[in-house]
Amino acid sequence: MSKYHLGEFEEVVLLTVAILHDEAYGVGISNEIEKRLKRKVSIGSLQTVLRRLEKKGYLSSRLGEATRIRGGKRKRYFTLTSHGRKILETTKRQRMALWNAIPNLNFRNGHA
Amino acid sequence: MLKKSDHNPPKWVLTFFRWFCHPDYLEDLEGDLRERFAKTWDERGIRSAKWLFILDVLQLFRPGLIRSFPMTLNILDRDMFKNHFKIGFRNLLKHRVFTLINIGGMTIGMICFILIALYIQYELSYDEHHEKADRIYRVSQIQKGNNFRGSNRFALAPLPLTSVLKELFPEVQAATTLQVREALFSHEKQSFYERGLFADEHLFEVFTYPVKEGMGKEALQDPDAVILTESLAKKYFGEDSPIGKTLNFENDRPLTVKGVVLDLPKNQHFGFDYITSLQNLPWYQNDLGRWGSNNYRAYVVLHKGYAYKELEAKLGVLQSFYQDSFKPVFFLQPLRDIHLRSQINFEISANSDIRYVYLSAFIALVILLLASINYMNLASARSAGRSKEVGMRKVLGAKRGQLVNQFMAESILITSFSLGLAMGLVYFLLPVFNQLMDQHISFDLKGNRTVFGTMLFISIVLAVLSGLYPAILSSAIMPIKALKGGWSKGRKDGAFLRNLLVVGQYTAAIVLAIASVVIHQQLEYIQNKKLGYTRDQVVYVPYRQQDFYERRDVLRAELLEHPQIKKVSFASSLPLNMQSQGVVDTWEGNGDQEKLWIYRNYIDHDFIDLFDIHLVQGRNYSPEHPTDSTASIILNESAIKALGWKSAINKIFDDKRVIGVVKDFHFQPFNLAIEPLFLELGTKRRSTYGHILIKTTMEEQEDVLAYIQRTVKTFLHGVPVEPRFMDESYNELYRSEKRFGEVFNIFTFIALFIASIGLFGLVTHSILLRTKEIGIRKVLGASISNILGLVSKSFLRLVLLSTIIAVPIAWLGMNRWLQDFVYRIHLDWWIFLSVGLLAMIIAFFTLSTQTIKAANKNPINTLRDE
């Protein structure tokens, strides 16, 4: 078990990077999150999380191609490392364990 | 269509971003930013794109992403940060006098700045709340050859103008004709003069007046309808809904209230209490289709994107509507400029002047500058006394950046404390200020965020600047020298800069002081200047009544029954501010060649006697000459001069015989020259409105006034009667100048005060450093006056220098100001001399309090401490 626990936003970012596979760069990630979760992401908070996850070793990055619209600046593509994949799986397992532990899973009284 | 690559984000933001961003991340982050920018531009336009870009960049300014600043002020080092503030606070407490001087000076400076900035913002906000404010223009006219009160521009328009404008020029979106006029309103036996806006049915297409209840636009179609402002509705009807109720207009017509509009903000170039149809103006029917009917105001709205100058150039075609030789040239005035930049004839109400705005901005900056100079001066001077502390810190390994931080922390403490104090005091002082300036500014953090934002920004800059200078100065010193305390006797301790700042401060204060003396003198001169007539003890009542002429002799007789009423007269205008002017082209020796613009006043037999106006030739009107009322005329000296006559008596002017010439008297405000004037006996037609003038002995003022009120009331039906004193009304004319003078005095005083406490601080400090020197001098036999001379010499020299610099500046400035007055004082040398002397005396007293205290100390005590 890892000592480090993923925050909610960190988890979202890691998952999105995984979804985008080889196409995950800053603007792409924020667009994807906005599209899927209908949630606004500020560039500042996204980038800090990306750098933090990279520092922790969950992500690796490489510089890609430059386009005119980017003023000739290259993109930085992020990919999930095996370490990152592992922590995502751990997180998921933990969540499922918690879900399974709820007695008589009953949605009728919940917010169906 | 723009190419994608042309989407360039604002450069300065990008520069800022490049500066703070971590170099490893710079490239891809900048790419991301640009990409987002281009996308929002396409989707939401350039404005939102720019805003979002700035927001994005600001959000990237966070610990994980910014580069490390090697020589940083280490703001993030929390312990040191806390320590700096703690030490800073202790230091401020330890030197209470300095702290008090610093905070006091700074707070006063900030208060002045905020108040003046609020005033300026208010002045600039006039008429901004109309939705189309930026496209509304007033159509005014130039009447060539008609120099009325020094200008040939008139804020008036004829009745047919706006409909023709709409017809001829497609760029005119809407146009309205209106006039503002006081008219009598009565309701249940109460009657008041209320200010009405008489407008055609297009009013609401041009101006924005939010309707609270009932009708707006539709009500103007109906001449029997009236729209009240909220407060007027309350005045007559209380809390009940006024809709459908009636008010009696001019005592002869009931008007039905059809709507209520919200109360207007005070910052408009004209205000009113109610709106009613233009047709309710008595001369409306007569003016229909008449291009000579300059009784109205015309406002137009242009369609978006049209330059008003282009329309103005085309207005020449309007001249074809004029039949006779008189053809005015029309021009447009942007609505937002009227309050500050329009000083033409017949403005709806007196406008302000952009020069007052500039002047106040200048004063605000000077005072703030004085306060900041003070602060920097004191801080740098005091840093010399802290050499030991700095030395010790250095020995213990403090880096330069940390020392800078230390000073900065103190500086921030003082500025933020002052700012808080200033804001609080402004809140309480604003009502006083409003009264002083006759303004209606409100304290509104959100609405005035520009002002408060600027203040905050200036405070930060001030804190940094005034912290930085002493910080750099003292941190550059060698620790060993500093510890030995030898530094303070060094030559390069910023004394030159400090002296320079003191000179700057005193120069500014002396300029202001000279200005306020000159302004005061000019105002005194105006108040006491011989006018050519006596206005003392004259009471007047304005009237407007159809059958006044027939009954005036009865009224006169009745008024004269009171033992203290000496004379009664009736005249169309008061000699305070005559406005009525006409053209005459028939006089002896003219042959219809020339025209004379001449002011006119219709008087009676007693007018000239009542005002003690001096007759230089001929005689006054007299009941013994019955032909006087139709065939005689009296001129003033200026008229005779303009006509080129040597002797005027019995010559013919305007088909009448000249029977007398009066000495020139001031019948207009002082900044205007005396111009040609004739005085003619009032006829029945000329007497439907005018003034009742009453000369009294004023022994029992209350009693006389009550008698006048009672008597006149029986003669004027259903109108309020309020007798007023001539000299009060005269002073009223100069109210804005007077107010200007008063405000100027206050700010001058503040400037002098700030300069003085600055000097006080410096002297205190300089004595502190020289305590030992003074002690030794005393031991060697120096007297107190020796020491006083020693210390004051260097400072007084600075004040003298300031005077020398200030005099020419003040002379130039005040000369310019006085040019606006036709009758003005001379700038005497003694004004400059006495203000300079006064500055020296104030400086000397400031100096001597501290110096004498130091010189009186027993030298044993000062020398012993080591």
Average pLDDT over residues B212-238: 89
In-domain check, residue B106 = no
Q: Calculate the CA dihedral of residues B439, B442, B445, B447 and round it to 10 degrees.
A: -70
Asked whether the predicted pLDDT for residue A106 surpasses 80, the reply is: no
| Cα Rg, chain A, nearest whole Å | 17
My answer on whether B518 and B564 are in the same domain is: no
Average pLDDT over residues B268-279: 91
Is B28 in Cβ contact with A51 (below 8 Å)? no
Query: CB contact, 8 Å: B131 with chain A?
Result: no
Contact A9, A42 (CB under 8 A): no
Asked whether the predicted pLDDT for residue A7 surpasses 50, the reply is: yes
Residue with tokens 């703001």: B75
The terminus-to-terminus CA distance of chain B in angstroms comes to 80
| Cα Rg, chain B, nearest whole Å | 35
Chain A residue whose CA is closest to B30: A73
In-domain check, residue B130 = no
**DSSP three-state, residue A59:** strand
What pLDDT digit, counting tens, does each position of B52-75 carry? 888 888 888 877 777 766 544 445
Cβ-based contacts of A51 with chain B (< 8 Å): 25, 64-65
Is B7 in Cβ contact with A70 (below 8 Å)? no
My answer on whether B724 and B767 are in the same domain is: no
The pair of structure tokens assigned to B75 is 């703001």
Average pLDDT over residues B560-577: 88
Is A73 in Cβ contact with B28 (below 8 Å)? yes
The pair of structure tokens assigned to B509 is 């204060």
Query: CB contact, 8 Å: A37 with chain B?
Result: no
**DSSP three-state, residue B259:** strand
Mean pLDDT of chain B: 84
Strands B596-603 and B615-618: unpaired
Sketch out chain A's domains with CATH numbers. 8-97 (1.10.10.10)
Among candidate residues B311, B327, B343, the one where a domain is terminated:
B327
Average pLDDT over residues B266-291: 89
Query: CB contact, 8 Å: A62 with chain B?
Result: no
Asked whether the predicted pLDDT for residue B172 surpasses 90, the reply is: yes
Query: CB contact, 8 Å: B52 with chain A?
Result: no
Is A73 in Cβ contact with B31 (below 8 Å)? yes
In-domain check, residue B532 = no
Domain housing B771? 354-526+735-864
> Would you tell me which residues 607-666 of chain B have a C-beta closer than 8 angstroms to some C-beta of chain A?
none
User: What pLDDT score does B422 carry?
Assistant: 92
In-domain check, residue B322 = yes
Among candidate residues B715, B730, B745, the one where a domain is terminated:
B730
Say how far apart CA B772 and CA B776 lie, in whole Å: 6
My answer on whether B196 and B243 are in the same domain is: yes
What pLDDT digit, counting tens, does each position of B616-631 carry? 988 899 888 888 888 8
Asked whether the predicted pLDDT for residue B580 surpasses 50, the reply is: yes
The pair of structure tokens assigned to A73 is 């600046």
Nearest CA distance, A46 vs chain B (angstrom) = 9
My answer on whether B542 and B628 are in the same domain is: yes
Q: In chain B, how many domains are there?
A: 4
Cβ-based contacts of B38 with chain A (< 8 Å): 69
Which of A68, A73, A75 is nearest residue B5 as measured by Cβ atoms? Answer: A68
Asked whether the predicted pLDDT for residue B179 surpasses 90, the reply is: yes
What pLDDT digit, counting tens, does each position of B635-685 carry? 999 999 888 888 888 888 888 899 999 999 988 877 778 889 999 888 888
Between A and B, how many CB-CB pairs are < 8 A? 78
Nearest CA distance, B16 vs chain A (angstrom) = 15
Asked whether the predicted pLDDT for residue B147 surpasses 80, the reply is: no
Is A70 in Cβ contact with B5 (below 8 Å)? no
My answer on whether B298 and B195 are in the same domain is: yes
My answer on whether B683 and B791 are in the same domain is: no
My answer on whether B314 and B181 are in the same domain is: yes
CB neighbour list of residue B236: distance below 8 Å, 6 or more residues apart: B185, B187, B228, B242, B247
Cβ-based contacts of A27 with chain B (< 8 Å): 32, 35-36, 39
My answer on whether B363 and B493 are in the same domain is: yes
User: What pLDDT score does B805 carry?
Assistant: 93
My answer on whether B704 and B800 are in the same domain is: no
**DSSP three-state, residue B422:** helix
Cβ-based contacts of B21 with chain A (< 8 Å): none
What band does B438 get if pLDDT is binned at 50, 70 and 90? Answer: confident
Say how far apart CA B255 and CA B258 lie, in whole Å: 9
Q: Which of A40, A69, A75, A78 to mutate to test the interface with B (most CBs of B within 10 A)?
A: A69
My answer on whether B590 and B518 are in the same domain is: no
Chain B residue whose CA is closest to A53: B64
In-domain check, residue B109 = no
Average pLDDT over residues B426-432: 89
- Rounded alpha-carbon distances, angstroms, from residue A51 to A7, B18, B489, B597, B759: 14, 18, 54, 83, 55
In-domain check, residue B10 = yes
Is B60 in Cβ contact with A47 (below 8 Å)? yes
My answer on whether B261 and B380 are in the same domain is: no
Query: CB contact, 8 Å: A56 with chain B?
Result: no
What band does B490 get if pLDDT is binned at 50, 70 and 90? Answer: very low
In-domain check, residue B449 = yes
Which of B30, B59, B64 is nearest residue A51 as measured by Cβ atoms? Answer: B64
Residue B693 φ then ψ, to 5°: -110, 135
Report which of residues B132 and A70 the model is more confident about. Answer: B132
What band does B489 get if pLDDT is binned at 50, 70 and 90? Answer: very low
User: What pLDDT score does B482 carry?
Assistant: 66
What band does B803 get if pLDDT is binned at 50, 70 and 90? Answer: very high
Query: CB contact, 8 Å: A60 with chain B?
Result: no
Q: Determine whether B5 is exposed, middle or buried from the number of CB atoms within 10 Å of its CB (0-12, 13-18, 19+).
A: middle
Say how far apart CA B406 and CA B84 lie, in whole Å: 5
Is B5 in Cβ contact with A44 (below 8 Å)? no
Query: CB contact, 8 Å: A19 with chain B?
Result: no
What band does B130 get if pLDDT is binned at 50, 70 and 90? Answer: very high
What band does B716 get if pLDDT is binned at 50, 70 and 90? Answer: confident
Out of A84-98, B291-305, B423-437, B575-589, pick the least confident: B575-589
Is B7 in Cβ contact with A26 (below 8 Å)? no
User: What pLDDT score does B495 carry?
Assistant: 72
Nearest CA distance, A88 vs chain B (angstrom) = 23
Among candidate residues B289, B312, B327, the one where a domain is terminated:
B327
CB atoms within 10 A of CB B782: 17
Residue B846 φ then ψ, to 5°: -60, -45
**DSSP three-state, residue A75:** strand
Which of A45, A52, A73 is nearest residue B34 as measured by Cβ atoms? Answer: A73
Residue type, A20: L
> Would you tell me which residues 29-48 of chain B have a C-beta closer than 8 angstroms to some C-beta of chain A?
29-36, 38-39
Strands B632-636 and B677-681: antiparallel
**DSSP three-state, residue B786:** helix
Nearest CA distance, A6 vs chain B (angstrom) = 17
Q: Calculate the CA dihedral of residues B298, B303, B306, B309 and round it to 10 degrees.
A: 0
Query: CB contact, 8 Å: A76 with chain B?
Result: yes
Query: CB contact, 8 Å: A36 with chain B?
Result: no
| DSSP letter, residue B264 | P
Is A48 in Cβ contact with B64 (below 8 Å)? yes
Residue with tokens 């020449």: B316
What pLDDT digit, counting tens, does each position of B811-862 carry? 998 998 888 777 888 888 888 999 889 888 988 888 888 888 888 888 887 7
Q: Which of B13, B17, B32, B40 to mutate to test the interface with A (most CBs of A within 10 A)?
A: B32
User: What pLDDT score does B568 carry?
Assistant: 92
Contact B637, B611 (CB under 8 A): no
Question: What pTM was estimated for this model as a whole?
Answer: 0.71
Say how far apart CA B271 and CA B652 lie, in whole Å: 45
Query: CB contact, 8 Å: A73 with chain B?
Result: yes
Which of B27, B29, B38 is nearest residue A69 as measured by Cβ atoms? Answer: B38
What pLDDT digit, counting tens, does each position of B306-324 carry? 899 999 999 988 888 888 7
Is B34 in Cβ contact with A71 (below 8 Å)? yes
Which of B4, B7, B60 is nearest residue A43 as measured by Cβ atoms? Answer: B60
Is B27 in Cβ contact with A42 (below 8 Å)? no
Query: CB contact, 8 Å: A32 with chain B?
Result: no
ipTM of the prediction:
0.83
My answer on whether B406 and B519 are in the same domain is: yes
Strands B274-277 and B190-199: parallel
Nearest CA distance, A66 vs chain B (angstrom) = 8
In-domain check, residue B347 = no
Which of B7, B8, B35 is nearest residue A27 as measured by Cβ atoms? Answer: B35
Which of A25, A42, A76 is nearest residue B59 as measured by Cβ atoms? Answer: A42
**DSSP three-state, residue B152:** coil
Say how far apart CA B331 and CA B309 lie, in whole Å: 9
